[in-house]
Amino acid sequence: MVDDRTIWRRLDGEMPDAEARALDAAATTDPALGRRIAELRGISAAVRGGVPKPPPDFAARVTARALAGPVAPVFALDEARRFLRRVVVAAAVLAALGLTYLVADVLPRIVETPVLADPLGK
Cβ neighbors of 110 (< 8 A, separation 6 or more) are 116
- Assess if residue 78 is contained within a domain: yes
- Assess if residue 59 is contained within a domain: no
CA distances to 3, 34, 92, 94, 119 from 86, rounded to whole Å, are: 48, 52, 10, 12, 45
40 and 10 assigned to the same domain = yes
For the chain, how far is it from start to end, CA to CA, in angstroms? 86
Q: For position 10, what pLDDT does the model report?
A: 92
Average pLDDT over residues 18-27: 93
Q: Tell me if 115 sits within 8 A of 121, measured CB to CB.
A: no
45 and 81 assigned to the same domain = no
8 and 46 assigned to the same domain = yes
- Assess if residue 11 is contained within a domain: yes
Q: Give residue-wise pLDDT tens across range 46-77.
A: 888 776 788 899 999 988 887 887 665 666 77
Count how many domains the chain has: 2
> For the whole prediction, is pTM greater than 0.85?
no
- Assess if residue 65 is contained within a domain: no
What is the number of alpha carbons within 13 Å of residue 35 lying toward its C-beta?
3
Range of the domain at 86: 72-117
